[in-house]
A and B are shown apart, each in its own frame.
Chain A
Amino acid sequence: MKKRVLSVLLVAAMLGTLLAGCEKKPEASTDSTASADGDVVKIGVFEPASGDNGAGGKQETLGIQYANYVTPTVEIGGKEYNVQLEIVDNESSNDKAPSAAATLVSAGVSVALGSYGSGVSIAGSDTFKEAGIPVIGVTCTNPQITEGNTHYFRICFLDPFQGTVLANFANESFMATKAYVLTKLGDDYSTGLGHYFTEAFEALGGEVIEETFQEGNSDFTSYITSAKNEGAEVFFAPSSTEVAALLIEQAASQGLNIPLLAGDTWDSNVILNAAEGKDVDIYVSTFYQEGGNPKFDEGIKEWINSDATAKANNGGDDTVSGLTVMGYDAYYVALEALKAAGSTDPAAVNEALWDVTYTGVSGDISFDEIGDAKRNAAYIKHANTETGAWDFVAEQTVAE
């Protein structure tokens, strides 16, 4: 009997706090936007904050938040609107993506940004499509995302491009003829990029050993041993930052003496921290090299350093990731589209997006007939294990 009472009290207390929090909600949101006349346009942020890709998603979100901090309002149809970010966590999981997307849809966003990770982008796509809400992909590089969709755009380059860039780089810089490609099962980004790299590398006359690992795997020693045994000259591992940290650690302790190559996801200080002071040779392709726009760097660093949460989300320091830059640019592309549409109606924004052009920190952005950004350059960076920073290596382009 006592227990019954206790449990009832417990539940009641819980519900009480919930309701209390609930009631205050509208007040809280009006608090933060009380300055203007109350016109609000909502931009959805569809990013992972937890799970495998949580680190990357947070850095991308950071760029969006910073942009929102710099430019909190937008003029649509001659009227000043406050921009409110609706941030939702898709948990890096394809099966959680549709309901996360639905949360944004029911929050009434005019346009959504995201996601880091191609799989969740594809998985959430249809929910947005059904609701007629346009989405701007920030760093999701798999071709399937925009293919056949009129509502999905993206401002980054694509995997076939990135794969070719990296294959060329491996071939030219290291004279590599044998590559070890390690991809994650069921991860569209990883599988896709691995596939295009393999295609390009084999076209250059190279040989590829392909291996896969399963979700939840944290033991990479066997893969590293295999790579060594097979006599591979480069180790290509498109994967999440979480896997990267483990892989780097184990590669160093096993004395893997060949270069580690990876795509845009590895452009993160997680990698730098893992590599610092270790004997590893890491190259990544990415969208931005710190120092490309000193003014922007300075501004965002100041902001990150002033906000403890932001700093924690950036991995504990103020290194500017390419992901953050892309997030920043994506926000402005969304604003441009809103301006051009002259309305907060998602359909109008969708229509306007086709013709948006914008010069962002990461370069010129405009969309082709599929909705992909017209980009033809990627940066290659090298992790400096002594200073714990990225060294610029080359800007690579691919002849069409």
Chain B
Amino acid sequence: MKKQTKTILNVGLIAALLLLLFILEQIIPSSSMLFMVLKKGAIYALVAVSMNLLNGFTGLFSLGQAGFMLLGAYTYAILTIPVESRDSVYQYFDGGIIQFSIPVPLALIAGGIVAAVFAFLIGLPVLRLKSDYLAIATLGFAEIIRAVFQWDKLGPLTNGSNLLRNFPTFQSVLYPFIVAGICIGLIVLLINSTYGRAFKAIRDDEIAAEAMGINLAHHKQLAFVISSFFAGISGGLLAMYQTTIQASMFKSAMTYEILLIVVIGGIGSVTGSCIGSFLFIACSEWWLRFLDNSNLYIGDFHLSFMRPGFRKVVFSLMIMAIVLFYRKGLMGDREFSVEGVRRFFQKRFKKKQAVEGGSSHE
């Protein structure tokens, strides 16, 4: 009974959020900064949650996320560029070898599948490695994937190192929210299933997990492939958001950004990753932009230290402050829920009451 009300509350909350977005979209022009941030935030939320599934829930330190996003993005782009635009996109490669296109949702899933297949192949040798070595090896694979996709000989498929463009993009801000929402929902379901418990067991103690009959190789591979699948989908979404993509975008710096989001949100917290993602994107792309303005004054005092680049300095200082002083991130390993908020305020309220009550007694 209680569980049911909780579910209803959560579903209601999500519906309200979507409705709010829908209304906002009718009022505010779609190219406004707010929507840019919301769209990108939703996409990064998905990839951050997928990374959290690996790093936070399974305890596998992988830094290959950018590589799998690249696979998803390229698969999506290659499969959806309209046939009539292919000649102009693949101008150096006679229109490329693929001469058909498939619907957007299918292409997104295909992107996820391609990323998952690659993850499976990479995982076979790499997942035997421990902690830092695994991180470096996956980082290395991401770089190798990036180099392969820039290779001229693959040009008819990948357009070499050149931009891919003209593929379908978002029609509405709701699209990335719905797709990312469904994917994150699936990840949450997985985490709360018996497999999710097995992942957490591996994170806590590999040896004990193995002694409890959990096949390490199989479960690590599973987490790696599933995480990559969703990274691939978010790559496809990122392509839709960016409107053009190119292998050189998917550098290791991108993985570091995602990792920062995961840590800021709280390792092992899905809602933390989501909140972290929106905050991170909003700060880096939007809220701090005015710091780059070199014509700011306080009274008559010219803030001459504010010039292009200052925003990023402030931003990195903020990140350092969080890393040093809020080690567990915004959410720790807890989850945000209506129930949690209610309890939080209840506690506050009770405390206050207690204090007031206490004082009145005196």
Interface residues of A (CB under 8 A from B): 3-4, 6-7, 10-11, 14, 18, 20-22, 24-25, 27-29, 31-32, 49-50, 89, 93-95, 98-99, 102-103, 105-106, 119, 122-123, 125-127, 130-131, 144, 147-148, 185-188, 191, 195, 212, 214-215
Contact = CB atoms under 8 A, between A and B. Distances in A.
Contacts of A29: 295
B345 interface: no
Q: Across the A-B interface, give the 6 residue pairs with the lowest CB-CB distance, nearest first.
A: A7-B325, A186-B248, A126-B243, A131-B31, A185-B161, A186-B161
Nearest to A99: B285
Given A18-B314, A186-B247, 13 more contacts: A3-B325, A4-B325, A14-B318, A28-B295, A28-B297, A32-B295, A49-B308, A93-B249, A98-B241, A103-B33, A105-B29, A191-B160, A212-B161
A242 B348 CA distance: 57
B165 interface: yes
Nearest to A191: B162
A125 B241 CA distance: 13
Contacts of A147: 88
A210 to B, nearest CB: 8
Nearest to A132: B31
B24 to A, nearest CB: 14
A131 B299 CA distance: 35
Contacts of A6: 325
A86 B290 CA distance: 12
A126 B337 CA distance: 38
Contact of B306 (A3, A21, A32): A21
A89 B308 contact: yes
Contact of A25 (B36, B162, B296): B296
B88 A148 contact: yes
B326 interface: yes
Contacts of A50: 308-309
Instruction: Decide if the interface of chain A is mainly helix, strand, loop or mixed.
Output: helix
B313 to A, nearest CB: 11
B30 interface: yes
A191 B308 contact: no
Interface string B225-257: 000000000000000011111111101000000
Contacts of A148: 85, 88
Nearest to A87: B308
Interface in B161-196: 161-163, 165, 169
A24 B289 contact: no
B40 A99 contact: yes
Among B33, B244, B321, chain A packs the most CB atoms within 10 A around the CB of: B244
B242 A95 contact: yes
Nearest to A195: B92
Among A18, A105, A185, chain B packs the most CB atoms within 10 A around the CB of: A185
A18 B286 CA distance: 13
B150 interface: yes
Contact of B291 (A21, A49, A185): A21
A171 to B, nearest CB: 22
Interface string B31-65: 11100100010000000000000000000000000
Chain B interface extent, by class: 35 or more
Given A27-B297, A49-B308, A186-B161, A10 B248 contact: no
Contact of B289 (A31, A94, A103): A103
A24 B243 contact: no
Nearest to A15: B318
6 contacts: A14-B314, A27-B297, A94-B242, A148-B85, A214-B150, A215-B251
A126 B325 contact: no
Given A24-B297, A28-B295, A7 B326 contact: yes
A14 B283 CA distance: 13
Contacts of B297: 24, 27-28, 31
Contacts of A14: 314, 317-318, 321
Nearest to A105: B31
B121 to A, nearest CB: 24
A105 B35 CA distance: 12
Contacts of B303: 21
Given A24-B296, A95-B249, A102 B32 contact: yes
A21 B246 contact: no
Contacts of A122: 163, 165, 244
A6 B325 CA distance: 9
